[in-house]
Chain A
Amino acid sequence: MVRRALLSPPVLISLVVLLVASVLPLYVSGYVLGLLTIAYYFGVFSMAWDLLFGFANEVNFGPSFLIGLGAYTAGILDNLYQPPIALSVAAGVAASMIGGLVLGLPALRVRGPYFGLTTLVAVLMLQNFVVVAAGLTGGEIGLTIPDVISINDKVNYWIALGFMGLSGAILYGLSRSPVGLILEASGQDPVQAGALGFNVTKHKLAAFLVSAFFSGLAGALMAFYLGAASVGTFIDVTVGVQVIIGAVIGGRRTILGAVLGAVFLVALGESLRPLGDLATFIVSAVALLVVLFFPAGLLGMVKGVREAT
């Protein structure tokens, strides 16, 4: 099963794309590299979200809760004590995973729309906390992070690309592995999964933690890339919306599609920048059209054609 997955077309195509992407810095301006760097981090956010939604069938309306925890914890620590960057990042990941646990435990007990509501409330709470505890977090103005991983945009690009590639490999591999199979069964029909001997709660909670791990890690790394953290870039509901839409447009339940969707959104937003305020309008309109008319998403459509034959 795993062996077959390793040599499947999606993987091979992904490898080719990664290869092409890694030589881009030689041909493309620093500005574009910067955009793509952000896009890659968002790709990881969306992939982590897709694991939870596409497989465990849990809709997380506040991915920015986990992302924000990772980014802000790392940023605050760096501000206060200036430890080695790796330590701050690790702390950010830990915070995000604890947040995932706190969110996941009660959320798994409730059904229907209440789980989504709980996740949304978590984001609102974090947002308010950051604003209120301005002394620690920089409030609405934001937090400046003194250390950066690198100032060379090529290096930052490669770090982001490498991180995304590795995360994608792990998440995709997980989704195609037997563990992913169990997770999918748990999400699709928890009663049947239980009757087959699987502890559904345990598996879903594990999925939460994995999702939190990658969200927090990507959030912390992105914070160190930007050298700043603010509510608008990491916690706001619109950030969560972008993550979700990236995954949905790319094709839910594919993991790899999430990256496609994230890059597409960033590219679209960028190309429309000259239009000023209208840009957000058009991006939302395009996203809405995809949701209404192509719910399977970009990659989903391709897969659909393949599986029907």
Chain B
Amino acid sequence: MLLWQILIDGFAISSLYALGATGFTLIFGVTGVLNLSHGAIMVAAAVAAWAASGNMGAGAYPAAAFGVAVALLLALATYYLIVRRLQLSRAVREEEKEIFILTATLLWGIMIQEAIAWLFTNNAKTVLPIVDGVVTILGVRTPANEIFTALVCWATIGALWLFVNRTLAGKAVLAASMNPRGVTLLGIELSTVYVGVWAIYGALAGVAGVLLGMFLGVSSYSAGPLTASAFSIVVLGGLGSVSGSLIAAYVVGYLETLTAYLVSPAYRAIPALLLLVAVMYVRPRGLMGRR
């Protein structure tokens, strides 16, 4: 009984982690940016959806869509206002651009987080779930919401896979992650590719954020830990490898669930962290890292 519960709960949480990590790794793989405002964008999406259904009385679906739209806008803002500016800047040496972009996205994330806290207080909020009720699987009573979460996550990841492997635009994105110069030589504007990738990232983070809001609820304090966990998963799986992130997400998700159930919820983050430390020492490029 407990085993099935762990399996199902772990699956749902891991799927959510997987979606968030996929977006994070996509941005890194194609543009080389580690976006430290990731968690804040997810929280913003969730809070926007909550505000839409609460304050503005929108239905569950429109509210969710609104949340995703907010994340999309924030992601594009991150690209245009911060990343692009620094990448084109001549005041910063090439070697230093990485840390400047990291610091800037970190600050931007804090700004978003604090704005949310100021506008909506830092209390935890739950987004109106699209799916209600309880379902019984393998003798375990599970909120239908949880199943919905896992399904939507995988549908989104599947859509991304189709996009990258079956459409020309998606292949351009893949090509840009392999060789940006090659893409330019073929007459494709890199800047267009980048805008597209950030938009896709925004949508991914938005969906993940809204789902998280429905499943577990968020508060402005969640932003930091969300970024940290996406970050750890991506490092474990290998920076830049989407398949690596997916596998690592499940490893981390199940480690956390197991710890929460078998030891104590307070310690849930520890095993994953220990694993991360071990990986950093033994194989810094992660499970399937390229760079």
Contact = CB atoms under 8 A, between A and B. Distances in A.
A281 B104 contact: no
A309 to B, nearest CB: 18
Contact of A291 (B103, B118, B273, B291): B103
A192 interface: no
Nearest to A281: B114
A59 B100 contact: no
Interface stretch (A70-78, A110-118, A161-169): A110-118
Interface stretch (A121-129, A178-186, A202-210, A216-224): A121-129
B277 A114 contact: no
A94 to B, nearest CB: 22
B231 to A, nearest CB: 8
A67 interface: no
Contacts, number: 92
A148 interface: no
B107 interface: yes
A111 to B, nearest CB: 9
Contacts of B110: 238, 241, 280-281, 284
Nearest to B99: A59
Nearest to A290: B107
B204 interface: no
A8 B212 CA distance: 57
Contacts of B111: 281, 284-285, 288
A110 B273 contact: no
B284 A110 contact: yes
A288 B118 contact: no
Nearest to A291: B104
A95 to B, nearest CB: 18
B210 to A, nearest CB: 24
B280 to A, nearest CB: 5
A113 B87 CA distance: 17
A113 B98 contact: yes
A114 B114 contact: no
B108 A288 contact: yes
A121 B280 contact: yes
A277 B82 contact: no
Interface residues of B, number: 43
Interface string A122-138: 00110010011000000
B94 interface: no
Interface in B61-104: 81-82, 85-86, 89, 91-92, 95, 98-100, 102-104
A103 to B, nearest CB: 11
Interface string A228-269: 000000000110010011001000000000000000000000
A106 interface: yes
Contact of A292 (B95, B104, B232): B104
A57 interface: yes
Given A121-B273, A132-B267, A281 B115 contact: yes
Interface of A: 53, 57, 59, 61, 106, 110, 112-114, 116-118, 120-121, 124-125, 128, 131-132, 237-238, 241, 244-245, 248, 276-278, 280-281, 284-285, 287-288, 291-292, 295-296
Interface of B: 34, 81-82, 85-86, 89, 91-92, 95, 98-100, 102-104, 106-108, 110-111, 114-115, 117-118, 122, 224, 228, 231-232, 235, 239, 266-267, 269-270, 273, 276-277, 280-281, 284-285, 291
Given A278-B114, A281-B110, A281-B111, 14 more contacts: A59-B99, A110-B284, A114-B280, A114-B284, A121-B273, A121-B280, A131-B266, A241-B103, A241-B110, A248-B103, A284-B110, A292-B81, A292-B86, A296-B91
**Cβ-closest 3 pairs across A and B:** A281-B114, A288-B107, A284-B110
